[in-house]
């Protein structure tokens, strides 16, 4: 493979494509039509390593965060909790013997039994905000252990994020992530084509498209700092040193609510991230984040 990083080298079908072709043949499926393609080195080692570390860290942060949330599964706005009027609450209704989980958002109440408010712990119906498969540790309440996991991995999260930011700054890769004026202007068009599941092909797929740049920018440079800062704002000691944090977020309970909403924005991002992967080119995309190599179909001459 000569100078593939320049992206000009033609490639034979990769070992993976060969394997897939063989599989299709064995399964009696029609052979896949393949345009000539070349592969280029999309994701260098630090990006891939930090990406997968981040995936594990975020999962632990989310699950231990839900365990912590279960200690008081209600959200408020402002500095103090208005216990009678939470903005969101996951609670149980019924009697001591027979109860079911309900979720309240503003004036609306939903029956979310088995999922939110009340669900099984080791097979026994329990009052708990999030269910056992979603929390770390699974049993609830275990606020003490949830906090240990959360704060330990918070250090890893921040270290990992700083390493990543340092790398993209050093390697000047941030240019791929900062949206341009054109990106913003073309946003409606991009949203429509993405909604129709028409993903960029050929040379256009070599670079992130506008919607990708905007998404990654918001996730990395808005949601990322936001979740760290709102997390820190919940600490009374931090508040004594940086009281403006409390002010910026509109109070400690607001910071907690924003922390929660941002966490679920990350969940939303993850779902879209997975949909985009599986609906566009799952093998190619996944491979590029594991081996670094991304295949580009050559545009018709």
Partner 1 sequence: MSDTRRNVLVRGSTLLGSLALAGCTDLSNKPWVQNALGEVENLTRVAQRLFAGGHSLAPEYSKADVARMFRANGTLNPGTNDYAMHLANDFKDWVIPVGGLVEKPLKLSLVDLRRMPPRTQITRHDCVEGWSCIGEWTGAPLAPILAMARPKPEARYVMFYCADPMGNGALDAGGHIIPPPYYYESLDLLEATHPQTILAYDLNGKPLPVENGAPIRVRAERQLGYKMPKYVQKIDLVDSFTRIGGGKGGYWEDQGYQWYGGI
Cβ-based nearer residue to partner 1, 95 or 122: 122
Cβ-based nearer residue to partner 1, 63 or 118: 63
Distance CA 16, CA 75 (A): 48
Q: What character string, x for contact with partner 1 (CB under 8 A) and - otherwise, covers 119-138?
A: -------------xx--xxx
C-beta of 246: minimal distance to partner 1 in Å?
6
CB 238 within 8 A of CB 215: no
Does residue 256 interact with partner 1 by CB under 8 A? yes
Distance CA 106, CA 257 (A): 13
C-beta of 228: minimal distance to partner 1 in Å?
13
Spacing of C-alpha 58 from chain mean position: 8
C-beta of 135: minimal distance to partner 1 in Å?
9
C-beta of 62: minimal distance to partner 1 in Å?
13
* Alpha-carbon distances, residue 241 vs 1, 79, 155 (angstroms): 56, 17, 19
Cβ-based nearer residue to partner 1, 52 or 155: 155
- CB-side exposure of 291: number of CA atoms within 13 Å? 12
Distance CA 45, CA 54 (A): 14
Does residue 66 interact with partner 1 by CB under 8 A? no
C-beta of 79: minimal distance to partner 1 in Å?
6
DSSP state letters, 14-76: PHHHHHHHHHHHHTTPPPPP---EEEEE-S-HHHHHHHHHHHHHHHHHHHHHHHHHHTS-EE-
Site for partner 1 in 67-106 (CB under 8 A): 68-69, 71-72, 74, 76, 79-81, 83
Binding test (CB under 8 A) with partner 1, winner from 253, 262, 263, 276: 253
C-beta of 263: minimal distance to partner 1 in Å?
14
DSSP 129: S
Task: Kindly give the residue spans of alpha helices, DSSP state H, lying in 186-235.
Answer: 187-195, 210-217, 224-233
Helix (H) or strand (E) run with residue 204 in it: none
Site for partner 1 in 180-239 (CB under 8 A): 234-239
Does residue 177 interact with partner 1 by CB under 8 A? no
Closest CA to 211 of 227, 224, 198, 202: 198
Tell me how many residues contact partner 1 (CB under 8 A): 41
Contact residues for partner 1, defined by CB under 8 A: 63, 68-69, 71-72, 74, 76, 79-81, 83, 132-133, 136-139, 142-145, 147-149, 151-152, 155, 234-243, 246, 252-253, 256
């Amino acid at each position: 493979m000569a100078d593939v990083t320049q992206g000009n080298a033609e490639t034979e079908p990769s070992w993976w494509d060969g394997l897939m072709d063989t599989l299709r043949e064995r399964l009696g499926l029609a052979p896949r039509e393949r345009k000539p393609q070349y592969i280029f080195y999309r994701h260098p080692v630090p990006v891939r390593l930090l990406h997968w570390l981040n995936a594990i860290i975020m999962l632990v942060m989310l699950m231990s965060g839900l365990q912590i949330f279960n200690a008081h599964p209600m959200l408020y706005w402002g500095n103090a909790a208005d216990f009678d009027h939470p903005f969101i609450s996951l609670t149980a209704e019924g009697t001591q013997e027979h109860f079911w989980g309900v979720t309240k958002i503003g004036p609306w109440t939903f029956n979310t039994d088995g999922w939110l408010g009340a669900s099984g712990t080791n097979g026994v119906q329990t009052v708990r905000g999030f269910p056992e498969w979603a929390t770390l540790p699974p049993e609830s309440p275990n606020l003490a252990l949830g906090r240990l996991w959360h704060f330990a991995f918070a250090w890893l999260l921040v270290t990992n994020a700083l390493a990543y930011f340092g790398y993209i700054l050093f390697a000047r890769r941030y240019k791929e992530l900062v949206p341009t004026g054109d990106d913003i202007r073309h946003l409606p068009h991009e949203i429509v084509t993405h909604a129709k599941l028409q993903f960029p092909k050929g040379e256009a797929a070599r670079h992130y498209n506008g919607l990708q740049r905007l998404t990654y920018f918001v996730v990395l440079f808005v949601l990322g700092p936001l979740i760290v800062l709102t997390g820190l704002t919940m600490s009374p000691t931090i508040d004594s040193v940086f009281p403006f944090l409390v002010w910026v977020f509109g109070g400690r309970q607001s910071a907690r609510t924003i922390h929660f909403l941002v966490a679920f924005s990350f969940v939303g991002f993850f779902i879209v991230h997975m949909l985009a992967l599986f609906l566009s080119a799952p093998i190619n995309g996944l491979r590029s984040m594991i081996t670094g190599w991304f295949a580009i179909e050559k545009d018709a001459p």
